[in-house]
A and B are shown apart, each in its own frame.
Chain A
């Protein structure tokens, strides 16, 4: 059974810091991995999607890497801003339609 874990569970940093959020999964036979952002009481916004054959994806200040063999992905946020404050979720997909979500990292960036 696939289990997805995110570390740290919560993070509070001053504005401007570079951040690394971690995601690990127990079954490496994934189809893809996706990072999402969730604001309080809201739905999810897709940030980055990495196919199993890819090593990383970049979008603006965000960079996600994937090491499938070791069951790890990281989300790198450069020059963090207060607007980045949210919960970040990673999710893995196998050769089905299902996404299995991680436990999330609650990020707070203060001015």
Chain B
């Protein structure tokens, strides 16, 4: 199956710093990428949808200035958590879909801990 690489897998940072998470499709072109957030023992909540070369579409309640998403190429999308605070601590997962695929392929996730 298709491979989506997400990096880093774990990051610990101080409050006020910015953190960038990368999501790469390794063997297919990802026309659409999705960013999810997951709290412990909870399901995934969609944060935003990004299409290559255009601005991301954010879900209601998600601050676009805080969670900056860039999808500059067909194989890379980045999520930057700006001025992170402890309440931003969570598990972030990206997923990607290709030109004709129905299935979503997921990255391995990033555990963000903000001290």
Residue positions of A touching B, CB distance < 8 A: 32, 34, 36, 41-46, 49, 51, 89, 97-104, 106
How many pairs of residues, A versus B, come closer than 8 Å at their CB atoms? 52
B71-79, B82-90, B107-115: which lies at the interface: B107-115
What are 14 of the A-B contact pairs (CB < 8 Å)? Answer: A34-B103, A36-B106, A41-B111, A43-B109, A46-B104, A46-B106, A51-B102, A97-B32, A98-B49, A99-B46, A100-B46, A101-B44, A103-B42, A103-B43
Docked-complex contact A43 and B46, CB < 8 angstroms:
no
Q: How far is the CB of A42 from chain B (nearest CB, A)?
A: 6
Docked-complex contact B49 and A46, CB < 8 angstroms:
no
Residue positions of B touching A, CB distance < 8 A: 1, 4, 6, 32, 34, 41-46, 49, 91, 93, 95, 97, 102-109, 111
What residues on B are CB-neighbors of A36 within 8 Å? Answer: 106
Given A43-B93, A97-B32, A97-B49, answer yes or no on A89-B44 (Cβ-Cβ < 8 Å).
yes
Docked-complex contact A49 and B49, CB < 8 angstroms:
no
What residues on B are CB-neighbors of A101 within 8 Å? Answer: 43-45
Docked-complex contact B43 and A102, CB < 8 angstroms:
yes
Docked-complex contact A34 and B104, CB < 8 angstroms:
yes
| Known contacts A41-B91, A98-B34, then 4 further A-B pairs from the complex at CB < 8 Å, ordered by chain A residue | A44-B106, A46-B104, A100-B46, A101-B44
Q: How far is the CB of A39 from chain B (nearest CB, A)?
A: 10
Measured in the bound complex, the distance between the Cα atoms of B32 and A80 in whole Å is 35
